[in-house]
């Protein structure tokens, strides 16, 4: 970000896009992650807020239809005051900040107060939402222009639109923020001479798992939208392009479309699980329910490195263990050459990958990614008389130790990190479950189950569908009374396949 931010402060006006976190621009993602303060609107998808860095302070100034908790003048004041403190401030707005987003007004205030600013455009819902519903807003055979109109009106007032002009346009009409004025818009266009048979659609919560489409003729649109219970946020599309929406629909064809999945992960990890779920069409909320931190007492590691040459094996049972171990080495001016001649064993693909990223290929990984299988695989290596180091979680399983010692090995079982539970700052998880807005929770370890339970005390766990990566994780989830499902293999790909089976079962139920 800006090198001078701590002396003069700066504001970045960032478009958040229509809801799908994947539609946030790369520049917007980088700035959001580095921000000191994020001032965000109601229409910003909650999954986007998980991008905010741990040090970033979030201020909700969201406006909803008929409810304006924070007046625009106060929002302007917040931006100026935070910037004057020397903060890097992100003003995060749904869609694009310059398309009916009052972004220009906010920049005028910043300019008048001598505050530096930048604009990061966003993907606008007027184009993205129809695209997710199979509606190209322009098409050579149907429309050569598109017209974006605000349908927003103040309470008790009518919209200030020239329906006579709009009805004569031959292109596609896209009305943003127009659901509460749908009846007026429909009547205005019809009274101005537009055919009641004109194809039209209302699109609710586009680009998210809850997206809904009502396609009808213009004359029937208000009635059909009412029957479907359409509510804001939604957009209205009027024009011949709506005629081909069923032919071109694609989002609904994705295996996990319509599913909203919660992934609990350590906050330090970029979630491979979330990425793979999104590619299948799921809307994913990444909640860092736990953080892995080094144990305050590192004397065990110090002692181990004093006689490192005595070890035959180092056994890593988690990605976090790899990260903490090698971070400690870096902090103490040590590198991988110190591990020369020592063989390494890992419990699964994720841990193997983490080790490979540090320049070491694992010598041993069991076919089944569980502690018992890892112990058996080590015993098969002939470990009698070998010295083995196991750097692990403070509350991790100790089941490896008796098996390895029983095979004649000398084991240093060393706790090097612990899990700390993290409150979720960006999503009210209890409210999300109360409203039935989470279809499934994906757990990649027993510790993430405990972290989830710690930050959701009071919810009915019997309503939680838990997709578990392995047997130990399932056992932990079952303790809380969740509806538990287990992946066939302890891999991320198998876990994703499991969520597809859960969706299929829900459809059949």
Distance, CA of 277 to CA of 261 (rounded, Å): 8
- Top-confidence range, 97-101, 291-295, 396-400: 97-101
Cα torsion through 490, 492, 497, 498, rounded to 10: 50
Q: Could you write out the DSSP letters of every residue in 393-446?
A: ETTS--THHHHHHHTT-EEEEEEEEEEEE---SS--HHHHHHTT---EEEESSH
Pairing between β-strand 117-120 and β-strand 88-93 as defined by DSSP bridges: unpaired
Higher pLDDT, 218 or 48: 218
Length of the chain: 509
Q: pLDDT by residue (tens digit) across 329-342?
A: 999 999 899 999 99
On whether the CB atoms of residues 376 and 366 are closer than 8 A, the answer is yes
The mean per-residue pLDDT over the stretch 429-438 comes to 91
Q: pLDDT by residue (tens digit) across 74-128?
A: 999 999 999 999 999 999 999 999 999 899 999 999 999 999 999 999 999 999 9
Is the pLDDT assigned to residue 422 strictly greater than 50?
A: yes
pLDDT for 409:
97
Topology classification of domain 127-251: 3.30.950
Distance, CA of 98 to CA of 104 (rounded, Å): 6
Domains 127-251 and 260-292+422-508 share a fold: no
Burial class (CB in 10 A: 0-12, 13-18, 19+), 113: middle
pLDDT for 62:
78
CATH architecture type of domain 8-123: 3-Layer(aba) Sandwich (3.40)
The mean per-residue pLDDT over the stretch 386-412 comes to 92
Q: Which two tokens stand for residue 326?
A: 């090698």
Neighbours of 368 (CB within 10 A): 16
Q: pLDDT by residue (tens digit) across 169-196?
A: 999 999 998 899 999 999 999 999 999 9
Distance, CA of 447 to CA of 127 (rounded, Å): 41
Is the pLDDT assigned to residue 67 strictly greater than 70?
A: no
Give, as one character, the DSSP assignment of residue 153: -
Distance, CA of 182 to CA of 423 (rounded, Å): 40
pLDDT band at 63 (very low <50, low <70, confident <90, very high): low
Is the pLDDT assigned to residue 66 strictly greater than 60?
A: no
* Sheet bearing 88-93, strands edge to edge: 57-60, 37-40, 88-93, 10-15, 117-120
Is the pLDDT assigned to residue 156 strictly greater than 70?
A: no
Q: Residue ranges per domain, the chain?
A: 8-123, 127-251, 260-292+422-508, 294-421
pLDDT band at 271 (very low <50, low <70, confident <90, very high): confident
CA angle, residues 29, 77, 82, in degrees to nearest 5:
50
CA angle, residues 112, 113, 118, in degrees to nearest 5:
85
For residue 377, the Cα-to-chain-centroid distance in whole angstroms is 37
Q: Which two tokens stand for residue 467?
A: 């997709």
On whether the CB atoms of residues 321 and 347 are closer than 8 A, the answer is no
Is the pLDDT assigned to residue 353 strictly greater than 80?
A: yes
Is the pLDDT assigned to residue 507 strictly greater than 90?
A: no
On whether the CB atoms of residues 205 and 212 are closer than 8 A, the answer is yes
Phi, psi of 42 (to 5 degrees): -65, -35
The mean per-residue pLDDT over the stretch 5-26 comes to 88
Give 329-338's long-range contacts (Cβ < 8 A, gap of 24+). 332/305, 334/305, 336/360, 338/305, 338/308
Q: Which helix (H) or strand (E) holds 57?
A: strand 57-60
**Beta strand extents in 191-349 (DSSP E only):** 199-204, 212-217, 234-238, 260-266, 283-294, 313-316, 343-346
CATH of 294-421, one of 2.40.50.140, 3.30.1330.10, 3.40.50.10090, 3.50.50.60: 3.40.50.10090
Distance, CA of 73 to CA of 69 (rounded, Å): 12
The mean per-residue pLDDT over the stretch 461-489 comes to 95
3-state helix, strand, coil in the chain (%, to 5): 40, 25, 40
Q: Identify the weakest region by mean pLDDT among 242-251, 275-284, 317-326, 421-430.
A: 421-430
Which residues participate in catalysis according to the annotation?
A: 41, 63
Topology classification of domain 260-292+422-508: Rossmann fold (3.40.50)
Distance, CA of 121 to CA of 111 (rounded, Å): 18
Nearest to 175, CA basis, from 165, 161, 187: 161
């Amino acid at each position: 970000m800006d090198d001078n931010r701590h002396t003069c402060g700066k504001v970045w006006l960032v478009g958040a896009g229509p809801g799908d976190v994947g539609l946030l621009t790369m520049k917007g993602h980088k700035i959001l992650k580095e921000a000191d303060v994020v001032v965000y609107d109601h229409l910003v998808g909650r999954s986007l807020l998980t991008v905010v860095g741990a040090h970033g302070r979030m201020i909700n100034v969201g406006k909803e239809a008929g409810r304006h908790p924070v007046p625009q003048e106060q929002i302007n004041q917040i931006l100026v005051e935070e910037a004057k403190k020397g903060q890097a401030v992100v003003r995060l707005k749904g869609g694009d900040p310059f398309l009916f987003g009052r972004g220009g007004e906010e920049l005028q205030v910043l300019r008048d107060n001598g505050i530096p600013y930048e604009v990061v455009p966003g993907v606008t819902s007027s184009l993205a939402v129809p695209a997710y519903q199979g509606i190209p807003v322009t098409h050579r055979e149907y429309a050569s222009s598109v017209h974006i109109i605000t349908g927003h009106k103040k309470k008790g007032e009518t919209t200030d639109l020239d329906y006579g002009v709009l009805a004569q346009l031959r292109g596609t009409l896209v009305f943003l923020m127009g659901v509460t004025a749908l009846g007026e818009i429909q009547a205005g266009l019809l009274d101005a001479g537009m055919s009641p048979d004109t194809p039209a659609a209302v699109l609710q919560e586009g680009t998210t798992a809850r997206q809904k489409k009502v396609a009808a003729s213009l004359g029937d649109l208000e009635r059909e939208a009412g029957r479907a219970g359409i509510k804001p946020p939604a957009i209205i599309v009027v024009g011949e392009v709506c005629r081909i929406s069923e032919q071109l629909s694609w989002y609904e064809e994705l295996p996990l479309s319509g599913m909203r999945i919660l992934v609990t992960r350590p906050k330090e990890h970029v979630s491979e699980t979330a990425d793979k779920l999104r590619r299948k069409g799921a809307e994913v909320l990444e909640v860092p329910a736990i953080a892995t931190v080094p144990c305050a007492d590192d004397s065990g590691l110090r002692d181990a490195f004093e006689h490192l040459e005595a070890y035959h094996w180092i056994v890593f049972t988690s990605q976090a263990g790899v990260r903490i171990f090698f971070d400690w080495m870096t902090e103490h001016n040590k590198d991988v050459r110190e591990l020369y001649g020592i063989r390494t064993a890992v419990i699964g693909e994720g841990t193997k990958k983490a080790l490979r990223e540090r320049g070491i290929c694992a010598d041993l990984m069991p076919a089944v990614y569980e502690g018992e299988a890892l112990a058996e695989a080590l015993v098969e290596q002939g470990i009698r008389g070998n010295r083995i180091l196991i750097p692990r979680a403070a509350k991790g399983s100790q089941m490896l130790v008796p098996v390895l010692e029983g095979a004649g090995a000398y084991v240093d079982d060393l706790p090097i990190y612990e899990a700390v539970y993290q409150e979720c700052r960006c999503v009210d998880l209890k409210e999300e479950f109360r409203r039935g807005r989470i279809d499934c929770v994906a757990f990649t370890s027993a510790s993430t189950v405990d972290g989830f339970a710690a930050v959701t005390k009071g919810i009915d766990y019997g309503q939680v569908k838990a997709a578990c990566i392995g047997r130990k994780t399932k056992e932990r989830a079952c303790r809380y009374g969740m509806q538990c499902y287990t992946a066939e293999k302890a891999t991320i790909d198998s876990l994703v396949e499991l969520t597809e089976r859960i969706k299929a079962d829900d459809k059949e139920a």
